[in-house]
Structure formats: structure tokens, C-alpha cells
Structure 1
Amino acid sequence: MKSLLLNSLLSICCMTPPYLISGSKARAEDWGCQVILCLSNPGGPTQYGECGPPIQKLWRELAKGHSFPTCSGVGFHSSRPGFEPYYCKAGYRLAGEDGVRGRQATCVSTSPQPVSDALCSNDGDFGTRNDSVLSPHWQRQDGRRQCMGYPIARPNVRSQPHYVDVTIDGAATQRVWY
């Protein structure tokens, strides 16, 4: 029954290579093959209930430092597990900063934004020190002088900070968070 449900899942996932359905090379009963089938689902690895148990087992095993499972007959590669606890909203990049509490993560705007004129001095040097803007400077904007800088924001904290990069059958690599 479990194999039938996973094969049904496969027929829904139009991006799944046909050899995963055939059973001649990879078997849906194998835990490693179940993981690969579920990870190849464009709707996400746990979109279907049948994928919950094998994917949850994967997260537990990776969290213990075990390697990614294998599936014979499938062109599959995974990276070593990684850890990335922070991320930034669109238009910002993650950067490290030395602060009073040591090295800290911060998000810095990828393009200059208008900021308070108080941050720029009249002679072109840096004005008032501000921990919320990097590199304040005067710049011509729409024919007038505007104080511009790179705003800093707090990074967001991931609920699932661990990841592996997975490539299935030479397709684009996808990052799987757990």
C-alpha cells in the first residue's frame, strides 16, 4: 500500500524522472529512495502525507550527524549538512560585524537609500556615527543633494537553520532546510 501511495505521488509530480516510477532501478520501499522522491516534489517534500515519515526521519538522522541516505540507480548527490541560522529580507545581504559582544550577523542594504541629512556632514566627510546606516554620503539625486547610505537591519532567524544541497539526476541543485 505504501509503495502504491508513493507511486501515486510520483505520477502527480510531473518533474520526477520516469526511472523513479518504473521500479527497475530504484524501489519506493527503500527509505533513501522515498526521501529522494519526496524531495523531488515541486510542492515541497512534505506536501503529501506519505512523505511525512521518511522526511522527518531524514531530519532526525541529519541532526545526529548521519550522512544523507542513498538510493541505488539514481543520479543523486548531496552536500555535507550546513548551518545558516540567519537570513535577510529582499534587497539586503547578510554581513558579519564586530560589535561589543563579538562577531554579529547583520543585514545591509544592497543599494544606497535616502537617509537623514544629519548623518552626512557638509564637507563630504562622514557625519554623525549611526549604527543603523553604513557609509552615509552626499549624492546628487534628481538634481539636488541627498544624504544616502546603506541601512542596516536585524537579520531574521530561521526556524530550520540546517540544510543540505541536493542534486537529483543532474537537475538544478536545491537547498533543503531542516
Structure 2
Amino acid sequence: MKNLLFNSVVAACCLAPPYLTSPGRAQANEWGCEVILCLSNPGGPTQFAACRPSIQKLWRELAEGHSFPTCSGATFHSSRPGYEPYYCETGYRLKTDYGPRGQETICVSAALQPVSDALCPNVGESRSSGNGSVLSPRWQRSDGGRRCMGYPTARPKVRSQPHYVDVTIDGMATQRVWY
């Protein structure tokens, strides 16, 4: 899908004025077109050295609260800037809740997994939640026996670039740009 987007933007640039096909030589008032061309690259917006100054300028401008640049040569839409400082490994989802220390963010397994038998309640005992490292531990029948299953938790990872905008260029798939 990203290749289609890049091809679409490159095709538009080939029919557009020549300053759009060479990001390093774009006119100052066409910085937005340069940004769109670089963002549509399947290899990433900073893969080519010619794109790095424009993309770094974009990140600075967005971080300072400026709007996304415009380009008369392409149709695009960008969301308002967002902030998402944490992420989880594959197979986990981010969960934010309020606990005794205020707002807490953890990664929770998206699927039940086998966990230590010591975490499951004994017969006749009930627990409504796990002990912090596993949520909702419970006994389940598996292969003719019982197995303690739960949702393991992990600490979230911290993004080096926690701000983002979602960009849609020429009606193609929306791409999240982190800065």
C-alpha cells in the first residue's frame, strides 16, 4: 500500500513543476510539497539525505504547534498533532488505569497465556484480579487437565518521538508520522 502511495505522489510530481521532483532544489514556498514527497517514500521519510532537512523542519514546526504545511500539487489531509509516549511489544496492548500511585500505564497480553500455578486461586478461594504481573489468573481445562491461565503484564516501552500526526495523501492509506 505504501508503494502505491509513493508511486502516486511520484507520478503527480512528474506531471508537476520540476522543483517537486528534486527535494533539495524545491523553492521555499513549496516546502509542503517536498514534505509530502518525502513522507510518501516507502523507505521512510528520511531515507534520502535530500529529505532530511525538510522532515526535520517539519518535526520542529509541529513540535512548536504550527500546522502541517500545504502543497498545491497534491491533495492531503493531516490530523491534529497527538501524543502517545508509550507502546507495547507485539501481542500486548496498552492499558491505562488509575491506581494507588495515580495514573498507571501497563502492557497487557492480548491473549490468555499459561502462568505459574501459584497465581491461580485455590479451590473455594476467589480472586478478582491478578497480583500485578498477571491479570485475571484462573484455572482452565486443557488437554484433560487443569492449567493456570492469565494475562501477563509488562512495562511499556518509551518512544523516542512521542508526538504524531496522521497523514493521508491523495486518498491513499493513512500514515502515522512520529516526531
Tell me the TM-score normalized by structure 1: 0.87
Q: 2:168 matched to 1:167?
A: yes
2:113 maps to what in 1? Answer: 113
- Gaps of at least 5 residues in structure 2 are 1-5, 21-25
Match of 2:15 among 13, 19, 22: 22
Cα distance in structure 2, aligned partners of 1:117 and 1:127: 16
Pairs aligned (count): 165
1:154 maps to what in 2? Answer: 155
2:144 maps to what in 1? Answer: 143
Deviations for 1:82-132, whole angstroms, at most 9, x for unmatched residues?
Answer: 000000001100001222220111100011111111111223622895110
Cα distance in structure 2, aligned partners of 1:144 and 1:167: 51
The share of aligned pairs that are identical, in percent, is 65
Cα distance in structure 1, aligned partners of 2:9 and 2:74: 11
- Gaps of at least 5 residues in structure 1 are 1-12
Q: 1:128 and 1:17, CA in 2 relative to 1: closer, same or farther beyond 3 A?
A: closer
1:38 maps to what in 2? Answer: 38
Cα distance in structure 2, aligned partners of 1:41 and 1:95: 32
Per chain length, whose mean CA-contact separation is higher, i.e. which structure has more relative contact order (CA < 8 Å, sep 6+)?
2
The amino acid that maps onto 1:96 is T
The amino acid that maps onto 1:173 is T
2:127 maps to what in 1? Answer: 126
How far off is 1:27 after superposition? 4.8
